Amino acid sequence: MEVGRQPAELSKEQREQLHRAHQHLRNTSHALEALTVVEPVRGRWVAAPAPAEALDAAQNDLHNACREFWRVHRELLRCDLPAGALDE
């Protein structure tokens, strides 16, 4: 991936926009992880699987955050999307 602009060249508002895109992607990834990666804890109840609707919503949120992340990167850093990054 080649970057056309460096983060240092961005305005404060643009750096904040880039930070928000990164943070949103991180948050949605953590939310999906919380639904799918439940570690058993000794002496505690077994966690019930998350409802399919919750998993679908979390996966949609992650997909949308990923698309927004790359949109912001293309717009602000003038970089191309890596091949296969958003393959369905």
The secondary element (H helix, E strand) that includes residue 35 is helix 12-36
Q: 62-72 pLDDT, tens per residue?
A: 999 999 999 99
What is the structure's pLDDT at 49?
Answer: 83
Yes or no: say if 57 and 34 are a contact pair by the CB < 8 Å rule: no
- Degrees (nearest 5) of the Cα angle 72, 85, 39? 100
Q: 2-39 pLDDT, tens per residue?
A: 667 888 899 999 999 999 999 999 999 999 998 988 77
* Whole-angstrom distance, CA of residue 37 vs CA of residue 32: 8
pTM above 0.95, yes or no: no
Yes or no: say if 45 and 86 are a contact pair by the CB < 8 Å rule: no
The token pair at 16 is 């904040």
